[in-house]
Amino acid sequence: MTDLQQHLYVVDLVLIAFLLEGVCLFGYFAWTGRGLRPIEIVSNLASGAMLVLALRLALSGASSGAIATCLMGSFVAHIFDLRLRWRRGS
C-alpha cells in the first residue's frame, strides 16, 4: 500500500467514525429523548465531516472547486451550528 493510499484509508476511517457517531447520537436521542436534538447533531457533524471530506479530496488530487465547495459547506454548517447553540443558550 502506497503512502497516499494509507492516508486516504485513514481519512476514510475518520469519515466512518463520523457516521457511527451520528448513528449513536441519533439512537441515544430516540431512545431516551435526551441529548442533542437531531438538527444539532447534523449541523455539528456535517461541519467536521465536510472538512475531512475536503482533506480527502485534496489528497486524492480533486479539483480546487470541489475542495472549495466542501470548505464552504463546512463553513455554512458551522455557522448554522453556532446559531443553534446561541439560541439555545439565550
Tell me the pLDDT tens digit for each residue of 57-84. Answer: 999 999 999 999 999 999 999 999 999 9
11-50 residues labelled b (16+ CB within 10 A) or e (exposed): beebbeebeeebeebeeebeeeeebbeeebbbbbbbbbbb
- The greatest distance separating any two alpha carbons of the chain, rounded to the nearest whole angstrom, comes to 51
Q: Average pLDDT, whole number, for the chain? A: 93
More confident residue, 1 or 52: 52
Instruction: Count the domains in the chain.
Output: 1
